[in-house]
Amino acid sequence: MDKKRFYITTPIYYPSAKLHIGHAYCTTLTDIFARYKRLRGFECYFLTGADEHGQKIEKNAAAAGKSPQQFVDEIVEGFHKLWKLLDISNDDFIRTTQDRHVKVVQDIFSKMLAKGDIYLGKYKGWYCTPCESFWTDTQVGPDHICPDCGRPVQVAEEEAYFFKTQKYVDSLLKFYEENPKFLTPESRKNEMINTFIKPGLDDLCVSRTSFSWGIPIRENEKHVIYVWLDALTNYITALGYDSEHPELFNKFWQDPECETIHILGADITRFHAIYWPMFLESLGLRKPDRELIHGLLMMRNSKMSKSKGNVVDPYPLVERFGVDAVRYYLAREVTFGQDGSFTPEQFVERSNTDLANALGNLLNRTVSMINKYFGGVIPAYQGRLNSVDGELESVIQTSVKQYENLLDDLKITEAITAAMDIVNRANKYIDETTPWVLAKDPEKEKELASVMNHLATALFTAGMLLKPVLVTASDKLFAQLGLNPEEVSYEKVYDVTFLGGQTVNKGEQLSPRLDATIEVPFIQYLMAGNQ
């Protein structure tokens, strides 16, 4: 059954330092899906935010000579600026230091404590401060290295509250079995079962006493609530769970007509795939419909990391190349769900090949020919006059269907490829129909008109499919085709007879071609930390 509404979230990012292009990747991909659903006429609520508590923040703030709140306030301001720069269309931004979140997390802890799902005990184990995670001897190995981030861990012991994970293991495994699309890619489900659940899942530590920068437990205020119980519940507190205004929560979480989707990185899969469904079951709430785990964006064959100092700031990229070029590269170059790499050569080549040469050149040639041969007015649809007309129409129709099926399944990279199939086929269509030859023969005017109409239709359709990615270029394309904003609607991608009578407006080049000899060294300069 098709869902009527969609709730889609990014992880909430940790404000220990400035965001980098890896964060921009996750948020841009989430934004593309939200924009796509809205474009199709669905109601969509899109959440992102900041995860602001924990020992790491407390230490970084002290080192900077600031209070933890002042420290996170300044960094979170940078989050807002970056999302604005990338034209991210989120409906809300949750901060775990906000009163609305603090109250609900305390309420949730109290509910779980009263239910017997949380108990007081003592914890001793290997602790990774950057990841805020305890690990077992087996997990850290003989070298005592955090399995998530690769940094050294230390032995830590303290009084702590624990969540009874064993109570919900069987239910979780059943949920996995009954919902095979819950985790994508499927290999992540196998990883959760074989690496974490089958070897024996320890009860989860959900409080700390060794630092104070967190949400205090009402029943025992020397404890603060451990970061993952605090952080994961952002997805429901932002909607008004356990508040005086639960309308959004009822609409976008509890209602089975709404599909709930979490987009997250591989490094936090364990918490989202194992503990989050357990927390929700403890609270008597439905579980998310899907969790999509994207791969890592690598830099020079190593994981991009703020602590390693091998990150690229998206700001100078957007300022120099434009928001569309950056968004398109992130969505197109790295297949969603797989690890990928950022290289300056790939960035320049992808922008030139797809945006400048394929799409930009097609628009420029088409508008120029309509101006030259038809006084700037797009001819009406003439029908399928020959096999190449039919082939182009067939590619358009097939690509639209593929695009929808792929994006509905969050296969964003493949969906963009389907949209670009229209552009590439239209460029080939020009060579096949040779409009400059047809223009020399007055008896071929109908064929020439058909060519111009088909090219305009191909451009409109591709522009509409790419609109969730190209947040400025698609509208410029529509304007050059002479379309008023009120004429532009997604439903018209199904109508090959839609265009005709519009007056084209030759504008600036949609995407300028980049000079690799200049731009590659510039990006390399950024990669060297000169930002």
Residue 129 CB neighbours (<10 A) = 17
**Who has greater pLDDT, 249 or 157?**
249
Looking at the domain 343-494, which fold is it?
Isoleucyl-tRNA Synthetase; Domain 1 (1.10.730)
Mean pLDDT, the chain, integer: 92
Distance CA 303, CA 284 (A): 38
pLDDT at 1: 43
Give the type of residue at 363: L
Chain Cα centroid distance, residue 30:
3
Residue 518, token pair as written in the block: 């200049």
pLDDT band at 495 (very low <50, low <70, confident <90, very high): very high
Q: Quote the pTM value.
A: 0.91
- pLDDT grade, residue 342 (50/70/90)? confident
pLDDT of 246-270, one tens digit each? 999 999 999 999 999 999 988 899 9
CA atoms of 176 and 278, how far apart (whole Å): 12
Q: Where are the domains of the chain?
A: 5-311, 343-494
What pLDDT sits at residue 337?
A: 75
Which residues in 486-508 are b (16+ Cβ under 10 Å) and which e? eebebebbeebebbbebebeeee
pLDDT of residue 186: 86
Angle made by CA atoms 244, 245, 247, in degrees to the nearest 5: 145
pLDDT tens per residue across span 37-64: 999 999 999 999 999 999 889 999 999 9
- Show the DSSP H helices in 116-159 as ranges: 137-140
Q: How far apart are CA 300 and CA 303, in angstroms?
A: 8
Taken as a whole, the chain contains a residue count of: 531
Q: What is the pLDDT of residue 19?
A: 77
Which helix (H) or strand (E) element contains residue 225? Answer: strand 220-225
What is the model's pLDDT at position 398?
98
In this structure, what token pair is assigned to residue 231? 């952080």
Percentage of the residues of the chain whose pLDDT score is greater than 70? 97
Amino acid residing at 179? N
Q: Name the DSSP letter for residue 301.
A: T
For the segment 275-306, what is each residue's pLDDT rounded down to a tens digit?
A: 999 999 999 999 999 999 988 777 655 555 54
Segment 473-478 mean pLDDT: 97
pLDDT band at 162 (very low <50, low <70, confident <90, very high): very high
The DSSP code for 16 is T
Is residue 229 over pLDDT 50? yes
Residue of 249, 242, 213 lying closest to 96 (CA atoms): 213
Distance CA 504, CA 375 (A): 9
Q: What digits encode the pLDDT tens for the residues 93-137?
A: 999 999 999 999 999 999 999 999 999 999 788 888 888 777 878
CA dist 319 and 303 (Å) reads 25
Residue 521 has pLDDT above 50, yes or no: yes
Say if residue 308's pLDDT is above 60: no
- Give the dihedral of Cα atoms 355, 360, 361, 365; nearest 10 deg: 160
Structure-block tokens of residue 55: 């020992």
Single-letter amino acid, residue 89: S
Q: Is the pLDDT of residue 531 over 70?
A: no
Q: Helix 68-85 vs helix 314-321: angle between axes, to the nearest 10 degrees?
A: 20
Segment 389-410, tens digit of pLDDT: 999 999 999 999 999 999 999 8
Residue among 181, 162, 156, 195 nearest 274 (CA): 195
- Residue 263 β-bridge partners: 292
Strand partners, 261: 8, 290
430-461 burial, b at 16+ Cβ within 10 Å, e below that, comes to beebebeebbeeeeeeebbbbbbbbbbbbbbb
Q: Are strands 154-163 and 204-205 parallel, antiparallel or unpaired?
A: antiparallel
| Euclidean distance between CA atoms 479 and 505, whole angstroms | 7
Query: What is the model's pLDDT at position 79?
Result: 92
- Contact present, 30 and 9 (Cβ < 8 Å): yes
Return d(Cα 408, Cα 418) in angstroms, integer. Answer: 13
356-383 pLDDT, tens per residue? 999 999 999 999 999 999 999 999 999 9
How confident is the model at residue 166, as a pLDDT?
94
Give, rounded to a whole angstrom, the gap between the first and last alpha carbons of the chain: 48
Q: According to the model, what pLDDT value does residue 422 have?
A: 98
Backbone phi, psi, residue 165, to 5°: -70, -35
pLDDT tens readout for residues 430-465: 999 999 999 999 999 999 999 999 999 999 999 999
d(CA 496, CA 396): 9
Phi and psi angles of residue 182, each rounded to the nearest 5 degrees, phi first? -60, -45
Mean pLDDT of 454-483: 98
Confidence at residue 133, expressed as pLDDT on a 0 to 100 scale: 75
Q: What CATH fold (topology level) applies to the domain 5-311?
A: Rossmann fold (3.40.50)
